[in-house]
């Protein structure tokens, strides 16, 4: 397991605060139990920050017609819906909700050519709000696979998330399972698939990036 580069500023601040508290408690004249009582919450907070920015070691999945989960979390939506930004037609939407305790690295769900990317500023409605996919801060990426199928996936900020990071641009080569982005402090990722896709997951399933099979296209 490694720690994500997007967490360096936050981890540095957390480490500095922890060090200042430790030094201060060492200097002041307090009973040992009192020092421990004060220090413990700061230590727990520091460990939570490290936990949030963790990137587990996982093998890249094989190429093929399987769409994998782009994020860790819980499958909360599987439905036919109209996709207005790129396709302008009906697609199957699969949504993965990410809690603050999930791994927040986002990976390509398919391999192919990146043909479209766009970042949208927006609100910070709770991630399960019906309008969050069109009104919240978000990024959209479309990859065209080797058989010509296009898959759209969208990072959506939530009420807690305050920064979406994505590294794709048109012309890039996407490799299934490789990182394409990161969302800080909880949100969700939507995947838009052809209506002919065979869905391999169900609502309530636990999604694991690089591992969970979402659909066959």
SS3 category, 198:
strand
**Residue 3 pLDDT:** 87
210: tokens are 């690089």
Side by side, the strands of the sheet bearing 66-68 are 66-68, 213-216, 198-199
Number of alpha carbons in the 13 Å side-chain half-sphere of residue 91: 24
Distance CA 112, CA 188 (A): 23
The closest of 138, 141, 136 to 124, measured between CA atoms, is 136
**Residue 191 pLDDT:** 97
Looking at 133, 139, 168, 187, which residue is catalytic? 187
Q: Mean pLDDT of all residues in the chain?
A: 90
The architecture CATH gives domain 66-216:
Distorted Sandwich (2.70)
- Please state, for a pLDDT cut of 70, what percent of the chain lies above it: 90
- Cα–Cα distances in angstroms (integers) from residue 214 to residues 107, 110, 148, 183, in the given order: 13, 11, 19, 20
206: tokens are 């636990």
**Residue 126 pLDDT:** 59
pLDDT digits (tens, 9 = 90+) for 119-161: 988 765 655 555 556 667 889 999 999 999 999 999 998 765 5
Can you give the C-alpha Rg of the chain in angstroms?
Answer: 20
pLDDT at 118 over 70: yes
Q: Which residue has the tokens 């305050």?
A: 162
> What average pLDDT does the segment 15-32 reach?
94
> What average pLDDT does the segment 5-20 reach?
92
Distance CA 132, CA 168 (A): 22
pTM beyond cutoff 0.75: yes
pLDDT at 205 over 80: yes
Packing angle of the helix pair 8-27, 32-52 (nearest 10 deg):
170
Residue 162's pLDDT band, with cuts at 50, 70 and 90, is low
**Residue 69 pLDDT:** 96
Domain segments of the chain as ranges: 2-55, 66-216
pLDDT at 99 over 80: yes
The closest of 200, 106, 101 to 156, measured between CA atoms, is 106
Catalytic: 95?
A: no
pLDDT digits (tens, 9 = 90+) for 31-72: 999 999 999 999 999 999 998 889 988 988 888 899 999 999
């Amino acid at each position: 397991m490694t720690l994500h580069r997007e967490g360096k500023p936050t981890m540095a601040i957390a480490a500095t605060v922890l060090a200042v508290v430790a030094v201060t408690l060492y200097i002041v004249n307090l009973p040992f139990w009192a020092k421990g009582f004060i220090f413990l919450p700061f230590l727990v907070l520091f460990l939570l920050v490290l936990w949030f920015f963790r990137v587990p070691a996982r093998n890249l999945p094989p190429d093929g017609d399987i769409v994998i989960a782009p994020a860790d979390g819980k499958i909360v939506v599987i439905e036919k819906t109209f996709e207005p930004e790129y396709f302008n037609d009906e697609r199957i939407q699969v949504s993965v909700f990410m809690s603050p305790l999930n791994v927040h690295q986002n990976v390509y769900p398919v391999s192919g050519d990146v043909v479209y990317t766009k970042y949208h500023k927006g609100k910070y409605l709770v991630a399960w709000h019906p309008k969050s996919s069109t009104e919240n801060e978000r990024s959209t990426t479309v990859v065209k696979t080797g058989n010509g199928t296009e898959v759209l996936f969208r990072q959506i900020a939530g009420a807690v998330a305050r920064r979406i990071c994505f590294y794709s641009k048109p012309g890039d080569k996407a490799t299934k399972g490789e990182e394409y982005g990161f969302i800080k402090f909880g949100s969700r990722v939507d995947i838009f698939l052809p209506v002919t896709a065979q869905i391999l997951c169900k609502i309530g399933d636990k999604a694991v990036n690089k591992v969970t099979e979402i659909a066959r296209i």
